[in-house]
Structure 1
């Protein structure tokens, strides 16, 4: 298939190079709820110990919110955790469409992911691949 044919049959709101964004203020309640869900109660994640560090996967979950809006079914995810995220930080996920290819079950998609804090510092970098079913 030519790349123009792949783009024509891709989900209508997606194009290679497109950047999708989502923002979130990280609260002590977010960290506590994630600790309860995941069972990770390391001291650095406990808000009652002062400023709490968000779990890496809590930070990464902001990118998965974008995937949920697209009905994206991930096959692979890779993360590199670069800086801590603390209570009171506002993070922004920037998910860039790297590739779109039609397959029998839908559209295979690859994303590059970068999550930044309110100071514009990259706190997480990653990528993901999977499919959006038609």
Structure 2
């Protein structure tokens, strides 16, 4: 079923120590806060790893991103449950270009319902 303006897509994920280790290896983001556990045994999740939540939703709908804006509001720790809500702001077929233009905003909250990340993205969905 195609998306429409006002649709909200929700995705949730709990980041693990292994997720942070793998992302550290791939990204080379080796800040000590990603490698050294805090007094509760948690690591700080890389911001761009947290940002994979809204990009996952974009991937589910085959969005080719043109712009992505992220505002990192507070740290995310391993074992935090993060819920991402993506709201479709624009979804418009462009006949002359044979594609759909899409604009979406998103907000991610932790298990205490505190905002950890917000932003928006825009892009296109090519006619397949």
Whether these two folds match at TM > 0.5 is yes
Q: What is the distance in 1 between the residues matched to 2:111 and 2:49?
A: 16
Listed one character per residue, the Cα deviations across residues 27-47 of structure 1 (whole Å, up to 9, x for unaligned) are 000001000010011000015
Q: What is the distance in 2 between the residues matched to 1:120 and 1:16?
A: 25
| Large movers: runs of 4+ above 2 Å | 47-50
Q: What is the distance in 2 between the residues matched to 1:84 and 1:105?
A: 40
Q: CA RMSD in A?
A: 1.2
Give TM-score, length-normalised by structure 1. Answer: 0.87
Pick aligned residue for 2:111 from 98, 111, 118: 118
Is residue 2:66 matched to residue 1:75? Answer: yes
Unaligned runs of 5+ in 2: none
1:125 Cα deviation after fit = 0.5
Q: What is the distance in 2 between the residues matched to 1:58 and 1:92?
A: 14
Of the structure 1 ranges 90-99 and 49-58, higher mean CA displacement relative to structure 2 is found in: 49-58
- Give the SS at the match of 1:101: strand
Pick aligned residue for 1:94 from 70, 82, 85: 85
1:105 Cα deviation after fit = 3.3
Unaligned runs of 5+ in 1: 1-11
Is residue 2:12 matched to residue 1:23? Answer: yes
Q: What is the distance in 1 between the residues matched to 2:7 and 2:27?
A: 32
Give TM-score, length-normalised by structure 2. Answer: 0.91
- Give the SS at the match of 2:30: coil
More helix by share: 1
